[in-house]
A and B are shown apart, each in its own frame.
Chain A
Amino acid sequence: MSSLRKFLVGGTTLGSLAFAAEVPKIDSGDTAWMLVSTALVLLMTPALGFFYAGMVRSKNALNTIMMSVASLGFVGIAWAVLGYSLSFSEGNGWIGGLSKAFLSGVGLEPTGAVVPLTVPHVLYMAFQATFCIIAAALVSGAIVERMRFVPYLVFITLWSLLVYAPVAHMVWGGGFLGKLGAFDFAGGTVVHINAGIAGLVAAMVLGRRKDFGRQAILPHNATYVVLGAALLWFGWFGFNGGSAVASNGLAGLAFVNTMLAPAATLVVWILLDILRTGKSTAVGAATAIVVGLVAITPASGFVSPMNAIVLGIIAAFPSYFVILWRAKTKLDDSLDVFGGHAIGGITGALLTGVLAQKVFNGIGDGWLYGNASQFLIQLLAVGVSIAYSALGTFVLLKLIGALTPLRVPVKEEGMGLDITQHGEEAYTSGEGAILVNADPIAPATRARAVGGTD
């Protein structure tokens, strides 16, 4: 067990270790919390859809939501069929094998993929699925309002298998980063840096929206942005708290940190807004919440509640100013997936290496508490995941783009993707909509028209 313990320090399986040596029996309390956590994380994906959709123009609202919703289907099924195995079955340092493909061997017995657990294996698989689903959906924020839907479906499905699964394996599934001792409690590296970098690359490969920089593109519904952020926060308690894979003190710690860090980021963000322009925006507040959540994710089970507040305060600054700066560049990372998730994730991952405290996590200290090497390990993990994600995403998009155009034609971009990709509108009064099975207006008469009106 002790060798396992060593290379799993930075994984979601952390919380289960206390029980590892004990009877491998299902615990009803742990299971209850994991059932809830899984549901909570699943809810985050449609919540993300609203967070994103509120920020686009109404002609692209449905397309933006569908980019998240589709991930629930395509990535969800890909995970069960292949992704879970590639992430969490035995393999090499970089990727898992196929032994758990098609959920073979994933039953109701109380175990995880790597260590024994007190919850059904199948539930652990589902919990991990929700992480992969939302990671893929996160990427979409960088390329909204211009990508064709079918290549998008292909992209996220393959991305979940070829980019997400390897990174998850490296850090959590028995791969080399986990063995090195990288701390990533709930996915700062695996989910947020990974998706944030993928978003950056995707925005560059896809190119700018035709109106970008030429026209103001405003959030069509800022209340949806807040609604999405609120539901994301709610779901994030499962994301971080559930990463203890048990209902114990560690889960409590991760939970409370998930409450305090974004609260702190929110305060700082509002104050920055007020100091800079005299007005604090709601879209900014929603962004602050998400940034704080991203930043605390890797640290949530490693740092004390007061340090979570410190982390939340610090994390506001890089993301705030990167987002400000990005808006002035030519880079159309439309909804700031890079500024929010990559920068927030990096800040969080590095601060985990600084602020971790053995008295809270039972595993190890960070730089501030005398263990500078942890910071270096974090740096390495961040670097590896950035490099892998960038490369993988780039190659994947270029390959798909070689087969079929990634972007909608300019004219369709002007009409909006809701009509051209989905054949419907988000909000409609039905005026001027003529039933196709109703009496058609005889087209023959059309040619005859003279001198009337057109």
Chain B
Amino acid sequence: MLAFITLLSPLIAAAVIVVGLLRAPGAASKLSVLSAIIGFVCSLLMLLGMGGSVEPFVWAKAGSFSLTIGLLSDDYLAQGMLFIVTFVGLLVHLFSLGYMKDDPGKARYFAGLSLFMFSMTGIVLADNFAMMFIFWELVGVSSYLLIGHWYKKDSAADAANKAFMVNRIGDFGYLVGILLLFAITGSLGFEEIRNAIETNPPAQGMMIAATLCIFCGAVGKSAQFPLHVWLPDAMEGPTPVSALIHAATMVAAGVYMMVRVIFLVEAAPIAGEVIAYVGGITALLAALMATQQDDIKKVLAYSTLSQLGYMVMAVGLVAKHPGSEYAGQAAFFHLYTHAFFKALLFLGSGAIIYACHHEQNIWKMGGLFRRMPKVSITFAIGTAALMGVPFVTAGFWSKEVILGEAYDTPVLFWIGVGTAALTAFYMTRLFVVVFFGESRSDHASHAKDPGPIMTIPLLVLAVPSVIAGFGFVAGLLHIHPPHHAGDHAPFIIGASLGALTLGAALGFFLYSGKKKEPIGFPLFRDKFYLDEIYIGMVRVCQDAVAYLAKAVDQIVVDSLAVLGTARITRGLGNLFRFSQVGNLQGYAFLFGGGVLVVMILLFSFVR
């Protein structure tokens, strides 16, 4: 019952706003926040074991087959994730009240936010692939709506489109994967599939294909290489949205989904390896790209990518440790800690951007530490967590677990460590440039801390950013990070410490007191030219093919087949018509000829 309330309250809010409150932004925002509060309370209660079970709802029925909406209200993983989602969601709602105060599309914005909460809750609670796919698509929609909130800006409209398209490509794979699993096991429910695979292991090849296809969904949604390109562009949306959707929750949905079906990775180790490498590559590339970005949100976006890479890597590495009781928990642990500190960082950046009158270029900020102490301190906590400052930040613990998982695979391990160093480097760069030194623009020099409606969420988020990594806190959410590191723990800690120190020191010394970018590295700044490459690919593989198809359609189908037939018919018609010579004698001749032909024909039938 609680699960149903959690699921439906944001939907109702969104529906009511769309139907009746578009002209009343105040009421709309309040309704939306109310629904977020209800959701949070319900998830809290569920976490306390008051969820109970919910009868599945038959959504679509076809004879004996049916698609159902079933809610996993007594599943630990779902409860934990639900808490994260509703918690961050609530804070983002509150923050938005301030951030979007004067926006003309405020009601629309909150409707979108509520729709997103509904969809995300649906993903979390889904007990089968069909339902998850429904909500999977819905988060895509709400993400599209929210990124494109300022649709009058070309860049925002384009970014929304790009996000949607790229996600659709991932969804293509995801849907194919679901279909393959359906064919293999004959069902769509997670439990049923798991049982079917365990009792009757299918052919490995088909299993690998299915798992990788399912993973495609995660690649799209969690913005893994090579489908990562949409996430940085998605920063065109309002910053709270970036915090909620493009940092804490939606992009983590891919990881959540993979953890939910981690048994697939276990059943197909080769697929697991691929997944792990995809994660690793994403982590490293994103970190490299982050080092040269000037937009505060872009830096954070690339860091998100990088951290998601860690999580995906952890998912893939599950295959290396078969039979583990807590398979996938490493990834989920990082997801969980990351949600807090990344939301914190985004909201912090939102506050900064708000204070600087929507200025996002870090080189036009500077010296904000003195002017915005609350924001600065919370931002510092977030940065520390992201960099993995040992023992006192949540990020440290979760990253350490992942590195421990990767220890057996040296390549991935060193990628992880390298990424950690890069993370420390670019976060230091960001922090130094934004908060220290002199203010480099008018807006920056007049910035000040925003009101409590925006600072309180920051403060609230700062707490779990510190403590969430501790085992007992994680245990509240039923998270049990595995410890594969064992004896190697000191080595791992040492490596990550070294990376942290190296990166932070380099960042500090390079950027301290600089007024503009001291080093130019176009390859990283221009994101390995991947956008350009993709645009080229789209031109060739899609637009050119489309043009070709149109040409074929017009020339072959239309002109040759259809018009050709018409012409032939008409030509024959003219031919016959010109036998009508108009001359009487001609007719007589043809008549006589006709008689002869008929006669000869008829006699030829006689045997």
Whether both chains belong to one complex is answered with no
Q: Which residues of A contact B (CB under 8 A)?
A: none
Q: Which residues of B contact A (CB under 8 A)?
A: none
